[in-house]
Structure 1
Amino acid sequence: MTWQLAAVMNAIIALGYFAICGTILRGLIMTRQLRTNPLAIATAAIFFTCAVHHGAHTVHMLLPSFGVDLEHGVALRQAFGWQMVVWDVIGAAVAVYYLSLRRSYGTLLRTPAMFEDEVRRRTNERVEHERAMLTQAEELAGAGSWERDLRTGELTWSQGMRRIRGRTPDAVSHDLDHALADVHPDDRARVARELDPDRPGPDDLRSAYRIVRPDGSVRHLDTRARVQRDREGAAVRVVGTSVDVSERREIEVAREQAESDLREREQMLSEAEERFRGAFENAPIGMALIGLRGRLLQVNGELCEITGYDRVELEQLDIEALSHHEDARATSEALVRMTLRQQERHSVEHRLVRADRSTVWVQLLITLLRDRDDQPVRFIAQVQDISARRKFEQQLRDMANHDPLTGLLNRRSFERALEQQLAHARRYKTGGALLFIDLDDFKYVNDSLGHAAGDKLITLVAGALTDELRETDVLARLGGDEFAVLLPHTDAVSASLVADKLLRRVAELEVSMNGHGSARLTASSGSAMLDEQQFTTADDALVAADLAMYDAKETGKNRSLSYRTDEHYEPQIRARMTWIDRIKVALADDGAGFVLHAQPILDIQRGEVVRHELLVRMLADDGELIMPAMFLYIAERFDLIQELDRLVITRAAHALGNGSPQAISWSRSTSPESRWRIPSCRASSSGPCATPAPIHDACASRSPRPPPSRTSRSRGPSASTWARSAASLPSTTSAPASAASTTSSTSPSTT
Structure 2
Amino acid sequence: MLIEKTLLEQFNINEIEIQRRMELFKLTQGELDLLAAQQPIIEQHLDSLVAKFYDKQTQFDEIALLIGDADTLQRLRNAQRRYIQELFSGHYDNAYVNSRLRIGLVHKRIGVEPKLYLSASCTLKYLVEDVLIEHIANPSELPQVLRALDKLISFDTALVFDTYIGTLLSAVENAKKRMETYARELEEKSKILSAHAERDPLTELYNKRAMQRTIMRELNAAIRRKSYLSVIYIDVNKFKFINDTFGHAKGDEVLQTLGQAITESCRTSDFPCRIGGDEFCVILPEASRATALHIGDRIEAAFTTAYPEYSISIGICVTGNESFVSANELIEGADKAMYEAKQQS
The TM-score normalised by the length of structure 1 is 0.24
Larger-Rg structure: 1
The TM-score normalised by the length of structure 2 is 0.49
**Higher RCO, Cα 8 Å, sep 6+:** 2
Structure (1 or 2) with the greater strand fraction: 1
